[in-house]
Structure 1
Amino acid sequence: MKTKSLPVIIGIFLIGLTLFMYQITLTRLFSTILSYHFVFMVISLSMLGLTLGGVYAFKWFKNQNELADTLLGRKKLSVLSLLSLALLITIIFLYKIPFHPFNIPIYLFLSTLPFIFGGYYLSLAFKEWVNKSNILYFADLIGSAIGAILIVLLLNHFSILRVGFILSLIPLFVLTFNIENKSRKIAGIVVSLSIISLLVTQGTIIDNWSKDFGAFKGSPKMLASLSEDKPRIAYTFWNSLARTDVVETDLDQDKIILVDGGAASRMIPFNGDLDSVEYLKGNLGYFPFSYKENKSALLIGPGGGRDILLAKLAGIESITAVELNPGSLMAAEAFKEFNGNIYGTDNVTTYIDDGRSFISSDSNKYDVIFLALVMTQASETLGYALSENYIYTKEAYETYLNHLNPGGTLAFVLHGENDLYKATTTILKIFEEKGIPREDAVKYITVVNSPSTHGTTSDHTLHVMYPLLMVKNTPFEKVESEEIIGLALNAEAKILSLPNFHEKLLDFTPPKNMEGSYLVTDNYPFFYNQGRTAPFLVIFMLIVTLLLGRYLTRKSLITKNEDVTYFKTYYSYIGLGFMLIEIPLIQKLILLFGHPTLTFSVVIPILLLAAGLGSLSSKIITTKVTMRTIGIIIFVYTGILFVYLPRFIDTFQGADLSLKILATFLLLLPLGLFMGIPFPSGLKIMKDRGITDYVPLMWGINGWMSVVGSILSLVLAMSLGYNITLLVGASLYLLFAFHNRKIRAFLEDKHS
């Protein structure tokens, strides 16, 4: 006798919520100790645990219907208990054990366990209650949508360890709903809620324990380069965006702000007397502010505040600082006695925002716009996709140039030669579109190489490191070029290209026929990627994921039943298609919302909520509309988004946040609604055809293809751009539509 469906629906809602929050917590944790490629690899491969859970459930209970009730009773208790234990052990281990490269396989193994148990629980619940699959899928998606919002709130207010304890208790709370004895069930619910409440309100003991972040002790990422200087962490701040540390060393008077253990910026000792930082005039970042008279400056990503000092040293009267990471500003505030309260001085106005988003809605113009080593190669959008931000694209450069006063300067300090090639190629393209040929555009651009890095390599080529790139909206005047020569001599820096004297810019620009490999646009925003293809590791991950998923499901799919093969393709299409549409949309909408975390917290819940509503209404919709038509609708609507999304973003760029969210909800609602229909509808048809034993396997295949889709979206985007990736996702739903001619015939026969 089956139990009531309400506990199962609540359980699926909460487990879906838990697994989604666990995925994001895992990403946030790994981002501090692993490079971004490895973060993406470990997260992607560990999520194959969902597939493995579905395969295990299929194998263990195939054709054993009498055991299904046992699973939803006694067996479910053990699965939920194991899930709870796996969540707690994994997060504590990853947080406390010192990092070592050889530990990565252990990270992968432990990270996978919660997904295995979660996938096992969910796939069997769908199998047993397949007649309510539309409601169950609705609960799963709504749980994930709420989890996307809730995890941001939790990570912004609590330590990762406290979040881990909270997550581990949720499966135990679900477990209490499966206790048959009513009094014990009530007692279990009360106890579970009480413990969770205590963790939320009184979890400071765990927060104090979390101050010892053991994983940092293996000198990961930037700390490795500081190890000889005996680095000491003097301050730490966690939130959903990043971990921010202030590091002190024995050999440097400056303090270093690290974001996720990697991206570094300097905090300079300053007592309020600019004479005490006169030595900074030898820094290339001083040049754009001082080579001519300037009164106003916009600084994007000033981090520890050195850029502000450079502007002040040059006499800039009005400074606007835009910093994406609030942790950097909190670190500067915590050490304001050390840095002279640099962000709090009278002529400095500070905003926490993405630089591109800020300037797109800013009506002011500036004499100087300055970006120094702004790098956000983390696993952005809270781990949903590898992302570059949009501050180094052609469209961004055009926006910056349009916000300069006449004769104003756009300046960058870059990392090396690859950055310089990409930046110059992109800027020359802008001038070319304005009718200024490359040969004349060199008069608008100056490049200076950093001091002590202008030697030659073994093959006698110039060693370009941390170059300064300055672009004006008018040609450089001779007197300005002469001033730059003086600054370069004082700093012992080498001029690589200078209008009026040394116009060699085209030596640092690829040939015209290779322009496409270096041009950076909003469609292809991968400024730091080498070349026009995905890195080898990402392609390798795609191959491994395909082969591993195939290996896990191969034996289970050996059957003479054509329907099983048919539904394997069915769920492969929707797993791939969903991700290949979702991820490009998230990336593109970063341009609207600016902040990656905010974009994630808005777009993911909207899509999942809409898909949940589609699932809930799928029984009604599929009586009137065929699955083939639904696939075509998704294809057509995605095509409409492809055409009109840039105009939508431009229209609402300067709108209030509430209006942006409402407009995005209305835009994505139809798409998500129809994308939520195929999954539960397919399960219902499987039930009608008598192959419910394969429901857990189809759950696993859908999960496998979702992981493949997330990696494939990156490979396609880094090779062809996000526009093509979006169109490939849409095309998969068109293929899905043609694949569903059999379902159409089946439904027509059923309703005739």
Structure 2
Amino acid sequence: MKRSTTNIAIIFLLTAATIIFEISLSRLFSYLLSFHFVLIIIAFSILGLGIGQITYAKYSEKIDHSLLWWMALPSISMFLSFTLLLVLSQIGVSSSTDFGLPIFILLSTVPFIAIGIVYAHIFEMDKRHVSTLYALDLIGAATGALASIFLLNAFGLVEVVAIAIGLLLLALIIALITVKNRYSKILVPLVLVVIFLMGFAKDALNFDIPVAKDPSKDLYRLMANPALKSEKLESRWSAFGKTDLVKFTYPDGTVSKSMFIDGAAGTDVISIDELAKDTVEMKRVLYGFPGIFAMNFLSEKEKDSVLIIGPGGGIDIAATYFMGFKYIEAAEVNPSFVALMKKYNPSTFNDKENIKVHVNEGRNFVVENKGKYDAVMLTIPVTKSSRGTDFYGLTENYLFTMEALADYLDGLTEDGAIYFTMHGRQEVYNMLANFLELQERMGVGQLEALKKVYIYSNEMNPVLVIKKNPFEQKTIEEAHKTAHYYGLDKEPFYFPYIEQEGLDTIVQNVNYKWYMFDDLLYDISKGSYAYDELWKTASINLSPVSDDSPYFFNYNNGIPDAMTTPLWLGLFIVGWFIVNHVNGWRSVSFSENTSIYMQRKFRAWALISFLLGFSYILIQGYLFQILNLKLSNPSQSFSLLLFTFLLGNGVGSLLTGTFKKNLSRKLIVYSALIVLVSLLTVYVLLPIWYKQLSEFWIALFLLLPSFFIGIPFPVLLKTASSLKEKKSIPYLLGISSVAGVAASIFAIVISILYGYRFVFLLGLFGYGVVIMLAYRLKTLKIVHT
């Protein structure tokens, strides 16, 4: 029992450290690299766990012979890997170079391979307690997920990685104490000294990580500009990412400050008090803000309250303040952003009685304050930062779905309007597609719907204004005329009630065409085309975006370019499994004493293991997707959901420790319960209580299906432990791990193409196949050869 307790402690520390390191890597890469590279690297990294487990299965005898060295490898490799990643990013090695991406992938994967090897060894050496080990593995992962929030909010990224390494060193000490070896008496004090020194090196570890020399990063381009003198005033890490406040001095001596999230999406810091002192500067700054034009046509009763989603450095707040809004609220999802602004820009973010800035996800905040605002403003709220660890969905995707638009409309007073400032024409079209589809579902035709909309553009940042009720014709005529006067009539351009003007003539055999308004939008507003022609005729993806497939910034028809490499990885994993399964898992190298019957059983176990790993991720992905919208902070929401889900899995796995007989029957029963409970949760319980859900009830709802989801795999491991081959358990662990990596990739691809609900149903189908396979396994008879 003492040995088992030791193994449990090591597994707990290993998995907690793994999750903390995984989330830390996602934060590091989101800062150093373009966001679409994060998915590729992290997918390969997590694959390392499965590679490590299968590596142990193939070379267990050699690894066991030098076990202490392998036990030390996770902490050593994590330290070297993280150090080299920081060094390479600063000497110009970029993920966009031909050799840069493979180097980043390799360095990120090695620590996970090392952890996978130790993990598999412990499971193989303690088969009798496989259920308890697996339960503590899940509980350790849950602890790491929850701890990562507090650690990243309290410490710098380097310190958090050092804590993960410290946990691995503690696991090493436990192993050294347990293993009777002549080197233990020397190594235990040595490792303790290393941990002690790491604790005292807190200040040395809290150093600033410069942005990588990657041209895709706005911060790097500006700081590398020789014409600008730049100085970082302050940087802060959080669970959301890294926030930098930078001061720029221009050749003429003028100074500005800008904020950056993960080295991208720079936003100028705007001080209300400084603008109030300099009316010339005030006009320059405010006239450069596209959204301010629309505010000129609001009556006093339409300027009682405004909500700004993603206030940036304060330009939206300043604009609404000087345009006479009586009460201004802003919702910013990044806590570091708000903290730095309250410190360095208090006049805009803290000092005014009629201005209140909240740390909250904007859409969630609108829902909580239904029917309160005369205006809801979103001015390019895009950070280009990966959300949580889904690695593809940007934080802002959920701000721009049809359901989000419905939430904003519900958040308006009867005279209220939404003001979207976009990057370009395609974003305007996409949001219009959302609006027209939403209106159609509400019974409002396209002719009436487009009376609630007008669009103007300075050629760079078009503004889309959507009113809750149709605009008055007099207001539109005045705004249209003024837009022409100020040159805000560039494409895309549209105002209701106004007749189209154009030119279609031939000069010297050349056909010249010009139209005042966007021709397609105008024709839709007149009923010449059906509203869905807006996206059907487009060469890029402009179809309406829903919460079920929340990829507003995906303009690819079909699979996005950023998913190509991960998709190939997923297909490779599936292909690898199929080839091995067809060949009867010859790589397992069964001993001569292993019967054909047991080999057939292992083949069935391998298929069930793959299906369980695959279906687990699909169900998890869907549950996270529907519940995440009820939580107020994307990064913290993901970690909270992950903690709850893994905790429920762990408790379910602990239950399997009491299972002694009829394991195949229990595999059938609990897989069936997963299907039933998941359907009950998604289609009955959640619809009834969804609007009233608090964070406590979200956790409780997630615990229900997650408890049952945590049962089948440890039951399978208990079943497989009857096979005396020293490779069965590690192989099944590895198969499940690599299946999970493939499933995470396919979940994103499938949700883009067909929606998350299809992902959920596919996951349930996987458990259905497990039920059939387990029944066949139960009836499998011994075949004599």
Same fold (TM over 0.5): yes
> How far apart, CA to CA, are the structure 1 residues paired with 2:174 and 2:153?
30
Q: Distance in 2 between matches of 1:325 and 1:296?
A: 23
Give the match for residue 609 of structure 2. Answer: 571
Contact 1:159–1:238, Cα closer than 8 Å, also in 2: yes
Q: For 2:630, what is the secondary structure of its paired residue?
A: helix
Aligned length: 715
Could you tell me whether the CA contact under 8 Å between 1:590 and 1:596 is conserved in 2?
yes
Offset from partner CA, 1:61-93 (integer Å, 9 cap, x none): 2xx5xx7xx83xx73321121111111111222
Task: Give the Cα separation in 2 of the matches to 1:385 and 1:537.
Answer: 8
The one-letter amino acid paired with 2:66 is K
- The correspondence of residues 54-73 of structure 1 with structure 2, limited to 5 A, is 54-61=53-60, 64=61, 71=64
Per the alignment, do residues 194 and 270 of structure 1 end up closer, same or farther by CA in structure 2, a change over 3 Å counting?
A: farther
Q: Once the 2 structures are TM-superposed, how far is the Cα of residue 720 of structure 1 from its aligned partner?
A: 0.8
- Asked whether the 8 Å contact 1:303–1:329 carries over to 2, the reply is no
The match for 1:43 is 42
Unaligned runs of 5+ in 2: 501-516, 525-529, 581-585, 591-595
Between the aligned partners of 1:202 and 1:373, the Cα distance in structure 2 is 41
Equivalent of residue 472 in structure 1, options 464, 467, 484: 467
Within-5 A mapping of 1:71-150: 71=64, 75-97=66-88, 98=90, 99=92, 100=94, 101-102=96-97, 103-150=100-147
Structure-2 change in CA distance of 1:332 and 1:387 (3 Å): closer
| Counterpart among 715, 729, 734 of residue 763 in structure 2 | 729
Q: Which residue of 1 aligns with 2:508?
A: none
Match of 1:638 among 673, 678, 684: 678
Cα distance in 2 for partners of 1:121, 1:83 equals: 8
Give 1:670-681 correspondences, 5 Å limit: 670-681=704-715
Is contact 1:12-1:122 (8 Å) kept?
yes
Match of 2:495 among 478, 495, 498: 498
Matches within 5 A, 1:693-712: 693-712=727-746
> Which amino acid in the other structure matches residue 449 of structure 2?
A
Partner in structure 1 of residue 339 of structure 2? 330
Does structure 2 conserve the Cα–Cα contact (< 8 Å) formed by 1:394 and 1:430? yes
SS of the aligned residue for 1:241 comes to coil
- Give yes or no for contact 1:166–1:196 (8 Å, CA) kept in 2: no
Could you tell me which of 380, 398, 406 is aligned with 1:390?
398
- Between the aligned partners of 1:153 and 1:200, the Cα distance in structure 2 is 18
Amino acid at match of 1:631: S
- Secondary structure, counterpart of 1:240 in structure 2: coil
Partners of 2:317 and 2:307 in 1: how far apart?
Answer: 10
* Structure 1 spans left out of the alignment, 5+ residues: 454-464
**Structure 2: which amino acid aligns with 1:526?**
Y
2:643 match:
605
Identical counterparts, % of pairs: 25
The alpha carbon displacement at 1:60 in A equals: 1.0
Contact 2:426 2:542 in 1 (8 A): no
TM-superposition CA deviations, 1:369-388 (whole Å, max 9, x none): 11111125432124566355
Rounded Cα–Cα distance in structure 1 between residues aligned with 2:338 and 2:190:
40
Between 1:511-520 and 1:610-619, the stretch displaced more is 511-520
- Alpha-carbon offset, residue 269 of structure 1: 5.0
What is the match of residue 257 of structure 1? 259
**Structure 2 Cα separation of the partners of residues 437 and 292 of structure 1:** 26
- The corresponding residue for 2:654 is 616
Name which of 687, 702, 713 aligns with 1:647. 687
Give the superposition deviation at 1:557: 5.1
- C-alpha spacing 1:34/1:549, structure 2 compared with 1 (3 Å): farther
Structure 1 distance, partners of 2:265, 2:171, is 40
Q: Structure 1 425/643 Cα, relative in aligned 2: closer, same or farther at 3 Å?
A: same
What amino acid maps onto 1:556 in structure 2? S
**Post-superposition CA distance 1:29-80 (Å, at most 9, x none):** 000111222100000012211122112111112xx5xx7xx83xx7332112
* Shift in CA distance, 218/526, structure 1 to aligned 2, threshold 3 Å: closer
Contact 2:371 2:410 in 1 (8 A): no
AA in 2 matched with 1:473: K
Q: Is the 8 A contact 2:656 2:715 kept in 1?
A: yes
Distance in 2 separating the partners of 1:50 and 1:474: 55
Query: Among residues 546, 554, 558, which one is paired with 1:521 in the alignment?
Result: 546
Structure 1 residues 356-395: aligned runs within 5 Å = 356-363=363-370, 365-383=372-390, 386-388=393-395, 389-395=397-403
Q: 1:289, 1:316 within 8 Å by CA — same for their partners in 2?
A: no
> What residue is the counterpart of 2:748 in the other structure?
714
Does the CA contact (< 8 Å) of 1:592 and 1:652 recur in 2? Answer: no
SS at match of 1:299: strand
Aligned-partner SS, 2:552? coil
Structure 1 residues 117 and 632, CA gap change in structure 2 (3 angstroms) = same
How far off its partner does 1:413 sit? Answer: 0.6
* Residues 379, 157 of structure 1: alpha-carbon distance in 2 compared, 3 angstrom cutoff: same
The amino acid across from 2:414 in the alignment is P
Deviation at 1:734, TM superposition (A): 0.9
Listed as ranges, the matches of 1:240-279 within 5 Å are 240-251=239-250, 253-268=255-270, 270-274=272-276, 275=279, 276-279=281-284
CA contact (8 A) 2:49 2:734 kept: yes
TM-score, structure 1 normalization: 0.88
Write the deviation string for residues 594-643 of structure 1: whole angstroms up to 9, x where unpaired: 31122122211111111111111114357475212222211222222332
Task: Return closer, same or farther for 1:92/1:644 CA change in 2, 3 Å cut-off.
Answer: farther
Q: Distance in 2 between matches of 1:487 and 1:329?
A: 36
The whole-number CA distance in structure 1 between the counterparts of 2:304 and 2:236 is 34
Which consecutive aligned stretches of 4+ in structure 1 deviate over 6 angstroms post-superposition? 182-191
| Maintained 8 Å contact 1:48/1:549 | no
CA 1:646–1:263 in 2, change beyond 3 Å: closer, same or farther? farther
Which of these residues, 430, 434, 439, is aligned with residue 426 of structure 1?
434
Q: How has the CA–CA distance of structure 1 residues 681 and 634 changed in structure 2, closer, same or farther, with 3 Å as cutoff?
A: same
Distance 1:646 1:675, change over 3 A: closer
In the alignment, what sits opposite 1:309?
Answer: 318
SS at match of 1:521: coil
Retained in 2: the 8 A contact 1:533–1:715?
no
Q: For 1:362 and 1:570, how far apart are their aligned partners in 2? A: 48
| Aligned-residue RMSD, C-alpha | 2.9
Question: C-alpha deviations, 1:306-325, integer Å up to 9, x for none?
Answer: 10111012111110111111
SS at match of 1:256: strand
The separation in 1 between residues aligned to 2:391 and 2:657, in whole angstroms, is 30
CA contact (8 A) 1:297 1:369 kept: yes
Q: Is the 8 A contact 1:173 1:188 kept in 2?
A: no
Q: 1:292 to 1:105 in 2, by over 3 A?
A: same
**Match of residue 318 from structure 1:** 327
Structure 2 counterpart SS, 1:156: helix
Closer, same or farther: CA 394–548 of 1 in aligned 2, 3 Å: closer
Q: What one-letter code is carried by the residue in structure 2 that aligns with 1:222?
A: D
- What's the CA shift string for 1:109-162, capped at 9, x where partnerless? 111111111000111211121121101101110110000011111111111112
How far is the alpha carbon of 1:550 from its aligned partner?
5.0
Q: Deviations over 1:635-659 (max 9, x none)?
A: 2222223324652563325x4xxxx
Residues 664 and 186 (structure 1), Cα distance of their counterparts in 2 relative to 1, 3 Å cut: farther
C-alpha distance in structure 2 between counterparts of 1:523 and 1:184, whole Å: 56
Q: More displaced, 232-241 or 706-715? A: 232-241
Shift, 1:427, TM fit: 0.7
Look up the match of 1:507: 520
Kept after mapping to 2: 8 A contact 1:300/1:355: yes
Q: Which letter does structure 1 place at the counterpart of 2:357? A: T
Which residue in 2 is equivalent to 1:458? none
Relative distance call for 1:491 and 1:646 in structure 2 (3 A) is farther
For 1:546 and 1:19, locate their aligned partners in 2 and report how far apart those are by CA, in whole Å.
25
Do the aligned partners of 1:634 and 1:671 also contact (CA within 8 Å) in 2? yes
Instruction: State whether residues 612 and 673 of structure 1, in contact with CA within 8 Å, keep that contact through their aligned partners in structure 2.
Output: yes
Residues 580 and 729 of structure 1 are in contact (CA less than 8 Å); yes or no, is this contact kept in structure 2? Answer: yes
Cα distance in structure 2, aligned partners of 1:677 and 1:506: 59
Quick one: structure 1 residues 384 and 448, their matched pair in 2 at CA, closer, same or farther if it must change by over 3 Å? closer
Farther off after superposition, 217-226 or 15-24 = 217-226
**Paired residue type of 1:547:** F
2:587 alignment partner, one of 543, 546, 556? 556
